C-alpha cells in the first residue's frame, strides 16, 4: 500500500486497485505544491468540516464522481450541493470496496467555511491493503486512544501543531497509548501558529517509544 502526503493533514492512499484521499486541502494550502488534479479517488474521507480539511473536496468530487464519506452532517451538506455523501458516525464502521472504515472520537470542533455545523469531528481507522491505519484528524490527547490502538496499528497519523490540536508533548503521549508500528506527524508547519520541528518530534518518538517516525514533506510518498 502506498501513501502520498498531500500536505497539512491530507493523504492519497492506493493499494494497486483502489485510491482514496483523506482531508484534501491543497489549492489554498501555502505549504504544498501538490495539485488537486493529481488525485482521482473513488472516495474522499473527511475527518471534519473545517476548510483546511474539507478543502478541495468539491472540485475533486465534481471531477471524479468520488463519494464523500464523513459525519452525517457532512454527508447531508455535500449531498445538497450535488455530491454523493455517505454519512456515518462515531463508533460505526462499514466495508467499502476499497476496505473497512471506522470513525472514532476526536476532541475538536467542526463547521464548514460558511459556518454550517459539520457534526462531531472524528478520527478515521482505515483497513486497506492488509494494513490498519489511524488518522486522528484534529484532536486533543484523550486516554481512550489506548482502545483505538488495541487491535494493532500499522500507522498512526497524528497532529503535532499545537494551538488548534495536540502539540508534540501530547502527541508523544498519544504514540505511547496507541502503540503503532509507525507514526507520521501532520497538521503542523502550514501556518505560523502551528510551526513545529518534525525532526525533533521524530527523535523523541524513536527514543521514547518502539515506533518509527516518518517525517514527510508535501508530495513525498512512502509504502507500508
74-77: long-range contacts at Cβ-Cβ below 8 A with a sequence spacing of 24 or more? 74/46, 74/48, 74/49, 74/118, 74/119, 77/49, 77/112, 77/116, 77/118
Euclidean distance between CA atoms 134 and 136, whole angstroms: 6
- pLDDT value for 75: 98
Cα–Cα nearest to 128, from 65, 74, 69: 69
- pLDDT value for 130: 97
Segment 33-47 mean pLDDT: 98
Q: Which helix (H) or strand (E) holds 104?
A: strand 99-105
pLDDT in tens, 57-80: 999 999 999 999 999 999 999 999
Q: Which helix (H) or strand (E) holds 61?
A: helix 57-64
Class of domain 2-216: alpha beta
- pLDDT value for 167: 98
Euclidean distance between CA atoms 119 and 117, whole angstroms: 6
Domain range summary for the chain, segments of one domain joined by +: 2-216
User: pLDDT band at 97, cuts 50/70/90?
Assistant: very high
- 34 to each of 20, 44, 206, how far by Cα in Å? 16, 16, 29
pLDDT in tens, 164-205: 999 999 999 999 999 999 999 999 999 999 999 999 999 999
Euclidean distance between CA atoms 173 and 178, whole angstroms: 9
Residue 17's CB: how many other CB atoms inside 10 A? 9
Instruction: Give the contacts of 114 (CB within 8 A, at least 6 positions apart).
Output: none
Q: Which helix (H) or strand (E) holds 48?
A: none
Instruction: Give the contacts of 12 (CB within 8 A, at least 6 positions apart).
Output: 3, 4, 6, 19, 20, 21, 38, 39, 41
Residue 59's CB: how many other CB atoms inside 10 A? 14
- pLDDT value for 71: 98
Query: How much of the chain exceeds pLDDT 70, in percent?
Result: 100
Residue 86, SS3? Answer: strand
Q: Over the chain, what is the mean pLDDT? A: 98
Euclidean distance between CA atoms 96 and 108, whole angstroms: 26
- pLDDT value for 174: 99
Amino acid at each position: 500500500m502506498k501513501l502520498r502526503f498531500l500536505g497539512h493533514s491530507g493523504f492519497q492512499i492506493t493499494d494497486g486497485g483502489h485510491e482514496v484521499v483523506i482531508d484534501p486541502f491543497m489549492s489554498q494550502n501555502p505549504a504544498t505544491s501538490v495539485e488537486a488534479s493529481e488525485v482521482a479517488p473513488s472516495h474522499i474521507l473527511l475527518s471534519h468540516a473545517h476548510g483546511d480539511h474539507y478543502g478541495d473536496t468539491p472540485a475533486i468530487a465534481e471531477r471524479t464522481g468520488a463519494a464523500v464519506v464523513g459525519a452525517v452532517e457532512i454527508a447531508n451538506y455535500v449531498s445538497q450541493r450535488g455530491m454523493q455523501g455517505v454519512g456515518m458516525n462515531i463508533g460505526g464502521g462499514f466495508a467499502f470496496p476499497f476496505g473497512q472504515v471506522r470513525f472514532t472520537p476526536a476532541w475538536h470542533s467542526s463547521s464548514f467555511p460558511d459556518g454550517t455545523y459539520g457534526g462531531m469531528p472524528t478520527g478515521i481507522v482505515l483497513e486497506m491493503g492488509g494494513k490498519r491505519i489511524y488518522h486522528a484528524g484534529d484532536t486533543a490527547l484523550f486516554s481512550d486512544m489506548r482502545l483505538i490502538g488495541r487491535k494493532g496499528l500499522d500507522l498512526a497519523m497524528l497532529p503535532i501543531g499545537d494551538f488548534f490540536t495536540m502539540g508534540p508533548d501530547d502527541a508523544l503521549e498519544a504514540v505511547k497509548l496507541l502503540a503503532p508500528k509507525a507514526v507520521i506527524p501532520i497538521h503542523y508547519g502550514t501556518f505560523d501558529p502551528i510551526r513545529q520541528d518534525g525532526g525533533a518530534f521524530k527523535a523523541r518518538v524513536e527514543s521514547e517509544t518502539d515506533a518509527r517516525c516518518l517525517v514527510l514533506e508535501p508530495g513525498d510518498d512512502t509504502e507500508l
